[in-house]
Amino acid sequence: MKQKDAFHPASSAQTRIIKKMGDVLRHGHLAHAYAITGPEGSGKEALAVNLARLFLCEAPEMRDIPRPCGVCRPCIKTGRNLHPDFFMIRPDASTIKMNQIRRLQQEVSLAPLEADRRVAIIINAHKMNQEAANALLKTLEEPPSHNHLIITASCADELLPTLVSRCQIIRCEPVPQSELMEFAEKRLACTGEAARFLSCLAEGSPAKAEMLLEQGALETKKELFGLFTKKGTEAVPASFRLCKKFSGDMNATLIAIQTLRSITRDLRLILEMKRRWPDRTNAVTSSIINQDGLKILCRLADAITDDKLAEYSRFLDHAEWMLERNVNQGLVLEAALVFWIRKNNNPFSDG
């Protein structure tokens, strides 16, 4: 029985990379080392694993988008992380250490056990300490035959120049928002508005879009918009309940801050459109992230000024800075929400 196919290029750009690598594989011209670079969340690890599976498959499908067959023994073993010729290391805590590189060197010093080649992957190679990087360089200077190394890094400049010079560079670009929306709709089973929201917050990363969904970003957005419509006597206890709910949960608090940032961005756009085209407020709709909350956003825009929004944006920047330094999440979020329940910023408040 064919196993569930986990081979999914993250974007059209990655599809082009895989097609090119398929041609290289078909003609037997694989390099001994590749460095996949790109910003966090751009799908570098997924691309590296997809290429490794393709390289190790006994009967890859080479038409259209090259892909592993999914049914041969190597495909089944790599899918279960049991293939003796597939090796991966990633940072131990925050660093890739010398003992990890030594183990990799031992693996690649041997001939492949089952396949025609061995593939080793180093995730976040820019986190190698100096000793580990120098040891890896020695391996690349005299690469063992039938062994292929794939490393990922956020930027080639973060790697030793001598190491980069011995690798072929593959640039992994962030996924366009339109493709992220399609990913959210088809792979995450989100509706149009939810897919739009996740794709905007995900910053070009399918993995982040999935994480946002799993961490309850859609529910957080719903709760925040619900808070904006409450009157003063209801808003204060409601904001306290939200702060208590997120207290101690860094991811949830960061998602709330990100959502507030998207709302602030929408309000700026609405205010600008009102100034330029007072009779065409609906013309802004296609550019709004939180389109399903447009009525609430327009009412909030009536109660706020550009100066207040600019001040609040600066506060959100500072809020993220505070969270990175382990300031109490509940206090940070409370300060962020108080802004919206003040009478002069909330058109739904009493009086």
Structure confidence by residue, pLDDT tens digits, 70-86: 899 999 998 888 899 99
Q: Outline which parts of the chain fall under CATH 1.20.272.
A: 215-341
pLDDT at 1: 35
Tell me the per-residue pLDDT of 287-307, one tens digit each, with 9 for 90 and over: 889 989 999 998 899 888 899
Query: What's the rounded Cα separation, in Å, for the pair 293 and 175?
Result: 26
Q: Is 105 exposed, middle or buried (0-12, 13-18, 19+ CB in 10 A)?
A: middle
In a 3-state reduction of DSSP, which class is residue 241? helix
Q: What are phi and psi of 304, to 5 degrees?
A: -140, 160
Query: What's the rounded Cα separation, in Å, for the pair 9 and 278?
Result: 44
pLDDT class of 272 with cuts at 50, 70, 90: confident
Nearest to 38 by CA among 159, 160, 174: 174
Please give the CATH number for the structural domain made up of 215-341.
Answer: 1.20.272
CA distances from 53 to 18, 81, 337 (A): 11, 11, 47
The number of residues in the chain equals 351
- Residue 165 pLDDT exceeds 90: yes
Nearest to 300 by CA among 264, 258, 262: 264
**In the chain, pLDDT over 90 holds for what percent of residues?**
40
Q: Outline which parts of the chain fall under CATH 3.40.50.300.
A: 12-171
Which class in CATH covers the domain with range 12-171?
alpha beta
